Every structure is written in structure tokens, then in C-alpha cells.
Amino acid sequence: MSDSVVRYASITKKVTMSLIGLFLAVFLVVHLSINLLLLMNDGGEAFSAAAEFMGTNIFIQIFEKVLFLAFILHILLGIFLWWVNLKARPVKYVKPNVSKTSTGSKFMIHTGVIVLIFLFLHFLNFYLVKVGVVPVPKGAEDKHDFYNMVTMLFGNMWYSIIYIISFIALGIHLNHAIQSGFQSLGWEHSKYTPCIKKLSTVYAIVIAVGFSIIPIYFIYIHL
């Protein structure tokens, strides 16, 4: 296989990964807006209603499958591109951290692994295991009681700390990923790139802080 074909395949994978990554980044806004309903002082009614809608609407169910496949593909492409880059530079720098790449770029694989581990725990708790260990309201025995599950998990200090660390890692991951995504898609311009960098930083902070507020809130009310 010629170098040009290999290079073309690598670029195609980068573009695909960028499109999927930007799609997942947009989804985070929807996920955060639903999770913030947990902060309402209504006993979980608004959040439970949103969770019920998300769990029964056929279009949302189809979207969930697409989202899950997008996660898998994004992870596989990320691992592949990391491995290609590693093979392209097998000899490490004599002095550590002498490259001019950003911190987010240097630690993309590390933050990605942290997020991946958290996703496994997240799916394990909320999707792969029935919530029989949590008191389930009468008439909802065959459903996931997401609100009680959230209350139980965030009432655990260690789980909340892991959750917050995971979203800090996600924020670092997002900050570089969004910038890199626009670059891979060729949407780079001296006039707009600085603005994109600032917006990606703000977006990453909003996502990381927004999700982290929730466990902090539950820890506070359990003190």
C-alpha cells in the first residue's frame, strides 16, 4: 500500500472522528440540560418526567442507538490514530515536554481513557443493571428509577469525587478535541480560529462545571 493511500486513509479517519466528536459534544448540552433538572426542588418530578420521555419515545430510542455506535466508533478511531501517531514517532524526546503541542493534545489519550472508564461505570449503573437495589415506587417495578439511583450514587462521596474528576478530564479532552475537530475539517482561518479556541475553552468549562455542580449539590444536602 502506497504512502499516499495510507495518508489518505489516515486523513479520512481524522475527519470521521472529528465529525463524530463534534456530534457527541453537541449531545452533551442536551444531556446536561436534562441532568440540571436534578437541582430543582421538586422531589425529582421534572427529571423523572424527562427520563420517562427519553426512555419511551421511539425517536429518542433510535437516537440512543446511533449515539452508542458513535461512542464506539469514536473510541476505536481515537485508539487507532493514537497508535499511528505513536508509531510515527517511536523515539521520545530527550527532554520531556519540549514539544510545542498543547497540554490537552499531549494528554488526549489519558483523558480519553478516564472518560471511557467513567462511561463504563455510567452504563453499568444506569443501563446494564436493573435498579433493584434502590427503592422503586409502586407501579414502576419494571422501570429504571433514575432519580433514586442518582440520589443513592451521589450520596456516596467517593462516587461523586470520581464523577467530578471524570468531567474535569472530559473538559480538558473537549477543549482540545473541538479545536482539533475544526482543524481536521479544514475550518481553520486566521480570522476565526482564535475565536474558535476561546469558544471551545468556554464550552469545555461550562460542560465540566455544569456536570460537576450536580454531585456537589447532592453531597451538600447529604451533609
Query: In this predicted structure, what is the pLDDT of residue 130?
Result: 47
- Rounded CA separation 81/60 (Å): 31
Instruction: Look at 180 and 188; give whichever has higher pLDDT.
Output: 180
pLDDT in tens, 13-44: 677 777 777 888 888 998 999 999 999 988 88
pLDDT in tens, 128-158: 554 444 444 454 444 567 788 888 888 888 8
Average pLDDT, the chain: 77
- Rounded CA separation 69/62 (Å): 11
How crowded is residue 100: how many other Cβ atoms within 10 Å of its Cβ?
6
Percent of the chain with pLDDT over 90: 17
Query: In this predicted structure, what is the pLDDT of residue 222?
Result: 62
Domain ranges of the chain: 3-92+99-222
How crowded is residue 197: how many other Cβ atoms within 10 Å of its Cβ?
16
- Rounded CA separation 122/120 (Å): 5
Q: Which three cell numbers stand for residue 178?
A: 473541538
Query: In this predicted structure, what is the pLDDT of residue 90?
Result: 55
- Rounded CA separation 104/179 (Å): 10
| Per-residue pLDDT at 210 exceeds 90 | yes
| Per-residue pLDDT at 202 exceeds 90 | yes
pLDDT in tens, 97-123: 544 555 556 778 888 888 888 888 877
| Per-residue pLDDT at 12 exceeds 80 | no
> What pTM, to 2 d.p., does this model score?
0.75
What's the average model confidence in pLDDT over 56-85?
80
Percent of the chain with pLDDT over 70: 74
Under DSSP, the state recorded for 37 is: G
Pick one of 1.10.287.70, 3.20.20.100, 3.30.1060.10, 1.20.1300.10 as the CATH number of 3-92+99-222.
1.20.1300.10
Q: How many helices (H) and strands (E) does the chain have?
A: 8, 0
What's the average model confidence in pLDDT over 45-50?
89
209: pLDDT confidence band, cut at 50, 70 and 90?
Answer: very high
- Rounded CA separation 147/64 (Å): 19
71, containing H or E segment: helix 58-88
